[in-house]
Structure 1
């Protein structure tokens, strides 16, 4: 009889072999997971870094754009072209290039947004609006129909009319009475909206008194005959607005056109002050006034000498 036990084969799978195979798979899975996590981490970090760089770039752009820059935003060659054609106009009363250039230079350097106030609607009205492209430009004129016509023709123009109560023939009397009221109604620092000073314009729109004007141009009203309003009130008002400004740059550039005129030179030196003059020609006076204390009672630092020189000028002109 054959012993079947001698031919029986028993195959056992040792537990170690099973564990070894499972362990290899676990290590492989762990290895893949590690690199997957590493890849995702690298991807997230790269995105965050690029986002940070983008944010920094945007911040730099915003910071640079918020810094003072030329208010007009126009290239220099465009500005020069506008000045050239404006000065070559066939209009009888156009400004020469020598007058346009100083005003343009100040507007170009004025920090944005620049506030420009202009007395008079003239041949250069559209030019001032264009040069002060990113700022606020307001025009004041004595002719309500002309102001309305201009606004209808050019809706972007911000123009208002004002009723002047002065006469050019009263130039000396108005000067004397204003100096007598320097500590009362005609103070150099005040809110003209509530003023009773004869030379103070108190019927302008409210925002004209609230805005801090960086540049003021006096190129109106008319003063060619005795009953014409003259520029006495405009020059006085410009001086008060400049000294009474609440915010922004403490300095205000005030230009007086037709500076060779008797009223323009006399009132300019009296209420804008000769020591504030930075440039003068036969047709343009350029003053720079600074904000003053509300308790001030003198228009000029050396008021006595200024007054005597103005009085002698007035006497010699009579």
Structure 2
């Protein structure tokens, strides 16, 4: 074929010498254009096949069920975390029993599990690992600590919150919530638009759209009167649980250091004694059910709180 083409182009007919150049040129351009479109068509077919193949692979991957962390790995992580805690003199770290209580719920939680944690602590990496293939989000009072944690561990999703509350204002804040229980401080609402003094309303919008299965309150600081206290985190956990979106009608809420006054009283007010599943060490485990939008009581038996002096012990 190639030798015939060259003969035609280089040896034009003697009867058409005058127009032979134009005719040859025309045939060359036709051949070039035809070759261009043929190449383009072939490239398009190849690209389309690759795209379809890649898309199919991605779809299959996303459609595949997400499996939880294998039990031996889960148990190993928990074992070494408990051993580290046992050898530590830091009081704020969780005990082996407290770690086991939370991990047991995470293990039962069908993947993917949505886990919200207030406080970046010694256990942060453990929680993120145990909730394998689930979504774990951390909220902390320190923007610096959040930035450093994400820089060192890019897999961690964390946000900082500026708290305006104080532990010393505990009973004033509770009184405000009672006065606004049918308005800004109601138990079922979108916290993003709430002006309740106890509501955490400045997280990214998408955080309020998640149906949280497990919530752990282990921050912010609450061991001295001018500390922010965990009242807003406990109130927010109670509202998120009662306003839960997505699958499941229950939310497991854990409150660490519940033996302190602010944590104990706030938990009784917003998580409720009737919802207390168990107490392990200084950890309270509540199971809070989703409520109707027209509900205006956190607990079936509202507590009558009276202020008491708060000390630094």
Task: Work out whether the TM-score is over 0.5.
Answer: yes
Q: What corresponds to 1:59 in structure 2?
A: none
Alignment CA distance shift 1:91-1:145 (3 Å) = farther
Alignment CA distance shift 1:85-1:74 (3 Å) = same
List runs of 5+ in structure 2 lacking aligned partners.
Answer: 1-60
Q: State the SS of the aligned residue for 2:271.
A: helix
- Equivalents in 1 of 2:161, 2:178: separation in Å? 24
Q: What corresponds to 1:263 in structure 2?
A: 262
Matches for 1:40-119 after TM superposition, within 5 Å: 66=65, 72-75=68-71, 77-89=72-84, 90=88, 92=90, 93-119=92-118
- TM (norm. structure 2) is 0.75
Q: What corresponds to 1:189 in structure 2?
A: 188
The answer to whether the aligner puts 1:302 opposite 2:297 as a matched pair is no
Q: What corresponds to 2:212 in structure 1?
A: 213
State the 1:81 CA deviation.
1.9
- TM (norm. structure 1) is 0.74
Alignment CA distance shift 1:228-1:234 (3 Å) = same
State the 1:236 CA deviation.
0.1
Give the number of the structure whose alpha-carbon radius of gyration is greater: 1
Alignment CA distance shift 1:269-1:117 (3 Å) = same
RMSD across aligned positions (CA):
1.9
Q: What is the aligned residue count? A: 246
What's the CA shift string for 1:20-60, capped at 9, x where partnerless?
xxxxxxxxxxxxxxxxxxxxxxxxxxxxxxxxxxxxxxxxx
State the 1:316 CA deviation.
7.7
Q: State the SS of the aligned residue for 2:272.
A: helix
State the 1:88 CA deviation.
2.3
Contact conserved, 1:91 with 1:123, CA < 8 A, in 2?
Answer: no
Contact conserved, 1:256 with 1:286, CA < 8 A, in 2?
Answer: yes
Q: State the SS of the aligned residue for 1:200.
A: coil
- Equivalents in 2 of 1:150, 1:315: separation in Å? 37
Contact conserved, 2:101 with 2:280, CA < 8 A, in 1?
Answer: no
- Equivalents in 2 of 1:97, 1:282: separation in Å? 10
State the 1:79 CA deviation.
2.1
Q: What corresponds to 1:136 in structure 2?
A: 135
- Equivalents in 2 of 1:262, 1:202: separation in Å? 24
Q: What corresponds to 1:126 in structure 2?
A: 125
Q: State the SS of the aligned residue for 1:88.
A: helix
What's the CA shift string for 1:121-169, capped at 9, x where partnerless?
0000000000001100000000000000000000000000000010011
What's the CA shift string for 1:207-231, capped at 9, x where partnerless?
1100000000000000121111000
What's the CA shift string for 1:90-124, capped at 9, x where partnerless?
36132110100010000001011110000000000
- Equivalents in 1 of 2:274, 2:309: separation in Å? 22
- Equivalents in 2 of 1:85, 1:202: separation in Å? 36
